[in-house]
Amino acid sequence: DVKVTQSSRYLVKRTGEKVFLECVQDMDHENMFWYRQDPGLGLRLIYFSYDVKMKEKGDIPEGYSVSREKKERFSLILESASTNQTSMYLCASSPGGSGKDTQYFGPGTRLTVL
């Protein structure tokens, strides 16, 4: 079974802190994604990566950056956390290539910024 793990289930940070959210997949997937999920707004794509060191902006990249130094790991960085970044963050990965692949999601990290 594909496994996507996220470093924390719950995280509480203060405004202005630098925050790292880590995601690891164990199936040698090409593509990795970061979403945030908010009530009334659904899931929105922040960034995605289709290869090591490659990244593409999603729909809401402002205030975020990402890093993919190794194929299995995709990190989301909040350079200076703000209260409007309080949300559920979901990481996903997919094999890529065939066009028939689905995305596999991690359990999510619920981030609260005070």
Partner 1 sequence: KQEVTQIPAALSVPEGENLVLNCSFTDSAIYNLQWFRQDPGKGLTSLLLIQSSQREQTSGRLNASLDKSSGRSTLYIAASQPGDSATYLCAVRAPGGTSYGKLTFGQGTILTVHP
Residues in contact with partner 1 by CB under 8 A are 4, 31, 33, 40-45, 48, 50, 56, 58, 90, 92, 94, 96, 99-100, 102-108, 110
Looking at this protein, which amino acid is placed at residue 39?
P
CB of 16 to partner 1, least distance (A): 27
Q: Are 99 and 37 in contact (CB under 8 A)?
A: no
Q: Which is nearer to partner 1, 69 or 99 (CB)?
A: 99
Write out the two tokens for 17.
Answer: 């802190």
Q: Looking at beta carbons only, is 1 or 69 nearer to partner 1?
A: 1
Task: Using the minimum distance from each CB to partner 1, give the nearer residue, 16 or 96.
Answer: 96
- CA nearest to 30, candidates 77, 76, 92, 75: 92
**Structure-block tokens of residue 91:** 């990481």
